[in-house]
A and B are shown apart, each in its own frame.
Chain A
């Protein structure tokens, strides 16, 4: 690489001034720019350049102070370019057709409506346990045992694997939107609602809450999907046939009810705490099935 030009006294003086002017510039930028200027001079000046040639090239190159100031604004958009951008933007806006403004307005309204809808139907709270619960089949509620722990009463019945068991609970819709129960929810993050439930059937009562355990409860009609209007309570009946074994003396609380619920256009999973009011207990008398073995 030729290094003739930097040896020239005028060039050395120019580069010294440039180094001084670049002191306020980040080191990497200053180093790169100095390298570019040095390469420029190497290319522009012949090895035996005289003072006049050197002075002409340096004069065309520009004042070290001004060049250093330009390097310091790396990333900045030149003033005129900014002004041109603004002018062009206004020019374009002024020439947008009325129809285009109309289409933009319609799109804006549609986006606003959809955003409002999403906000209205995605933010309401979940359904809640209404406080009433009971066993569905006489085989269960005739044998339920009440225990009280920390002021809370729990109803426990014998676990009957391979047989239909079930309960009902009152479910409250405290929100301002209609929620429709579509069925049980399964999958990751959904706790088991009944011990070993292989098949869970959900039903929601029509507007008739007159459920009397062992009496008129059979007159209540359960449907699915079940609609719960805002601020109203419905009974939800849960029936299952267990296919696992609960050992003698072991008990399992029914802690939550996981439901698939439609709110507006959207279907979501709601996990409703049941306050541990119901439980089943293994008694060792029923047929405990081994995994993979058909039920009798």
Chain B
């Protein structure tokens, strides 16, 4: 597996929960969401991928959107998290903590079957 391809797929897998986490703080419009994700670093392969993802999250009932027009600005579509989205996010956080700990343990050789442990690299 090429490292770049693997990371791209990994980013795609975790981008949804990250979008939900940002929307949990406040509703955001598209570019605002893209910029916040980009600011986090390493999450976006391209800015445009956020929009199909938002549409999928909306179709799944995890996100809603509505047009808002603020004084002096043009109308923008704002995305908000739903109650189902909050529950999904909570469940993902729990699973992610354990999953990432497991992956980290295997990657760092701190969690392997006994026969596979390398001498001198374990605590």
| A88 touching B51, Cβ below 8 Å | no
| A61 touching B48, Cβ below 8 Å | yes
| B9 touching A39, Cβ below 8 Å | no
Contacting residues of chain A (70-88) with chain B, CB-CB under 8 angstroms: 70-71, 73-75, 78-81, 83-84, 87-88
- Count of A-B contacts with CB under 8 A? 84
What 1/0 mask marks residues of chain B from 22 to 47 whose CB sits below 8 Å from any chain A CB? 00000001110010000000000111
A103 interface residue per 8 A CB criterion: no
* Residues of A with C-beta under 8 A to B29: 39, 43
| A40 touching B51, Cβ below 8 Å | yes
| A36 touching B51, Cβ below 8 Å | yes
- B2 shortest CB reach to chain A, Å: 13
* Residues of A with C-beta under 8 A to B75: 1
| B74 touching A91, Cβ below 8 Å | no
Taking a contact as CB atoms closer than 8 A, the residue among B13, B47, B76, B77 that contacts A78 in the complex is B13
| B48 touching A91, Cβ below 8 Å | no
Interface residues of B, CB < 8 Å — how many?
A: 28
* Residues of A with C-beta under 8 A to B54: 36
A44 interface residue per 8 A CB criterion: yes
Give complex CA distance A83, B98 in Å: 16
* Residues of B with C-beta under 8 A to A40: 30-31, 34, 47-48, 51
| A62 touching B30, Cβ below 8 Å | no
| A91 touching B99, Cβ below 8 Å | yes
Taking a contact as CB atoms closer than 8 A, the residue among B30, B52, B74 that contacts A67 in the complex is B52
Which of B30, B48, B51, B52: most chain A CB closer than 10 A? B48
| B12 touching A71, Cβ below 8 Å | no
A144 interface residue per 8 A CB criterion: no
B residues contacting A by CB (< 8 A) are 9-10, 12-13, 16, 29-31, 34, 45-49, 51-52, 54-56, 59, 74-77, 95, 98-99, 102
A residues contacting B by CB (< 8 A) are 1-2, 29, 32-33, 36-37, 39-40, 42-44, 60-63, 66-67, 70-71, 73-75, 78-81, 83-84, 87-88, 91
Task: Please name 20 pairs of A and B residues whose Cβ atoms are closer than 8 Å in the assembled complex, sorted by A.
Answer: A2-B74, A33-B55, A40-B30, A40-B34, A42-B74, A43-B29, A43-B30, A44-B31, A61-B48, A63-B46, A67-B48, A67-B49, A70-B48, A71-B55, A74-B55, A74-B56, A78-B12, A78-B13, A80-B9, A81-B12
